[in-house]
């Protein structure tokens, strides 16, 4: 199943910069692992915001929830999920 996932990150003011650096490194490693596994199919930065738009290919809603909640930055994210279906006019 394909999902379009929009993630916005808001870190609290005054958060420890060393903690933030570790979170970002852990987040990058997790995202790259999921991409290598083929579950995080596309990842785009949203220009001008600490946000991304991504496409996930996973077997179920529950699998997507498990992936998203495993992300190190998850506690600081607002996430919007849109399930996708093939368009009848698509040639690919």
Q: Where are the domains of the chain?
A: 2-84
The predicted model gives 78-90 an average pLDDT of 97
Judged against a pLDDT cut of 90, whether residue 85 lies above it is answered with: yes
- Over 90: is that where the pLDDT of 92 sits? no
Beta bridge partners of 8: 51, 78
Residues 22-62 pLDDT 10s:
999 999 999 999 999 999 999 999 999 999 999 999 999 99
- Return the pLDDT at 9: 98
Phi, psi of 26 (to 5 degrees): -65, -40
Indicate the CATH number for domain 2-84: 3.30.70.1060
pLDDT at 32: 98
pTM for this structure? 0.92
The answer to whether 80 and 39 have CB atoms below 8 angstroms apart is no
């Amino acid at each position: 199943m394909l999902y379009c996932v929009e993630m916005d990150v808001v870190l609290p003011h005054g958060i420890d910069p060393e903690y933030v650096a570790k979170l970002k490194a852990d987040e990058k490693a997790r995202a790259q692992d999921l991409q290598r596994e083929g579950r995080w199919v596309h990842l785009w930065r949203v220009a001008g915001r600490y946000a991304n738009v991504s496409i996930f290919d996973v077997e179920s809603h529950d699998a997507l929830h498990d992936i998203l909640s495993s992300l190190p930055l998850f506690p600081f994210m607002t996430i919007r999920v849109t399930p996708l279906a093939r368009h009848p006019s698509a040639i690919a």
